[in-house]
Structure 1
Amino acid sequence: MNYAFEFGQVFAAWDELLAGALRTLWLSAAAMAIGMVVAVLGALGKTNGPVALRWLIDAYIELIRNTPFLIQIFVVFFGLPAIGIRLEADQASLLALVVNVGAYGIEIIRAGIESIATGQVEAGKALGLKPLQVFRLVVLKPAIQAIYPSLTSQFILLMLNSSVCSAIAASELTGAANDIQARNFRSFEVYFVVTGIYFALSLLFWGIFALIERRFLRQPAPR
């Protein structure tokens, strides 16, 4: 084996990798926040909405869950201009990520909502809570507590899937790595370093999610 490893050329472009990592963080965090709103509204519509709305939500979920994310982002970036909607690469990436995670999030949150006993809802109504208060305090919070591990795992997958956005030249981490590799041809070194960065980003998100769980979702200890 005569290959000589040269990481110096990779670290010389560290500013590009850092900028790509920050863009990945921004895309992922924004998609998680907006996708969570889509997931909650979709789950509410699927559990309590009219039949036509439920069918529409089901069609959306099945379409997204049974097609590759790469095709979805191509449809957003290359397909929408056919109907007059033109988006920059980062904008298209964000929209595709939201659409993707929203579909998976709806099913996760729906399962959590349906795990709440009917008696708890009736008790909330008996206390004089308004329907929105019942949903927010009696249904949604306990449901999120129940499905939080699944939801956070889906969010981590979303962050890792953001690497696919490099296919439309989005300015995220993998896109930056591709640019560096095209200049120095040090494929192993570049993608080895990028692997480590993605691993670090995953640990960062796990830490944030664990902090959120301890701060807002953990049940108080019994006295």
Structure 2
Amino acid sequence: MNYAFDYGWLLEYWPVLLKGLAITVELTLVGGVFGVALGVACAWARALGPKWLRPIVTTYVEMIRNTPFLIQLFFIFFGLPSLGVRLGELEAANLAMIINLGAYGCEIVRAGIQATPKGQFEAGASLGMSRIQTFWYVVLIPALQRIWPALSSQIVIVMLGSAAVSQIAAEDLTFAANFIQSRTFRAFEAYFVSTAIYLALAIALRQMLRGLGWSLFPKRSGR
């Protein structure tokens, strides 16, 4: 059977795609910023924090890293209302992405922290730095320099994984593709275009994170 490709529907449905793209970008931005912040906090807790806090953080990290993102999303959106916590689609999607990236980011950042020689802690103390100053300037910044490529890759993976939020009717790019396909019955064209947009978005995000790494860590980038 011959299939006639038709992309004429783009003229009618481009606002739907644009809205989906905007929501995907918003999810990535919020999830990336707060997810990395949560990952840094958890990495500190596991590597340098008080002993009573470490098992709690370890349980969170292992639970998230060993369960599917989709199940985590369903638990937040469908499960929490049973406990009286009701979230909208985008709120649940943002929270799920933050929690997911926080767990993976924790292990990535912790690896960088544990690679810091213990003598640098003593050097910070000898210079009169507080524990917070020592962690920020002596431990965290060099650790982030070492693990920035891995952390950047994880952020891109989480962005691509955001396609799952369409399952709770969050109107992201995948939701837009599903909507267009259901109206036009042009599945190939709808998903081909959405795939191309995801590819362009992933490449752009990776380049942006690389540029951010050059800006934050000029020595590592060779500048």
TM-score normalised according to structure 1 size: 0.96
| 1:198–1:11 distance in 2 versus 1, CA, 3 Å | farther
Cα shift at 1:11: 4.2
Which amino acid in the other structure matches residue 55 of structure 1? P
Counterpart contact for 2:77–2:87, Cα < 8 Å: yes
Tell me what 1:40 maps to.
40
Q: Which residue of 2 aligns with 1:138?
A: 138
Please tell me the root mean square deviation across aligned C-alpha atoms, in Å.
1.4
Moved segments of 4+, more than 3 Å: none
**Which residue in the other structure is 2:54 paired with?**
54
- Where do residues 97-176 of structure 1 align in structure 2 (5 Å cutoff)? 97-176=97-176
Task: State the alpha-carbon separation in 2 of the partners of residues 60 and 215 from structure 1.
Answer: 32
Aligned partners of 2:115 and 2:143 also within 8 Å: yes
Aligned ranges 1:1-223 → 2 under 5 Å: 1-219=1-219
C-alpha displacement of 1:218: 2.2
Report the residue type matching 1:179 in the other structure: F
Residue 221 of structure 1 and its aligned partner are, at CA, apart by: 9.1
Q: Which runs of 5+ in 2 are unaligned?
A: none
Deviations 1:100-138 (CA, angstroms, capped at 9, x unpaired)? 110000000000000000111211111111111100000
Q: TM-score, normalised by structure 2?
A: 0.96
The answer (yes or no) to whether the contact 2:214–2:221 under 8 Å persists in 1 is: no
- Indicate conservation of the 8 Å contact 2:72/2:96, yes or no: yes
Sequence identity percentage: 45
**Separation of aligned partners in 2, 1:2 and 1:26:** 40
SS of residue in 2 equivalent to 1:64: helix
Which structure 1 segments of 5+ residues have no match? none
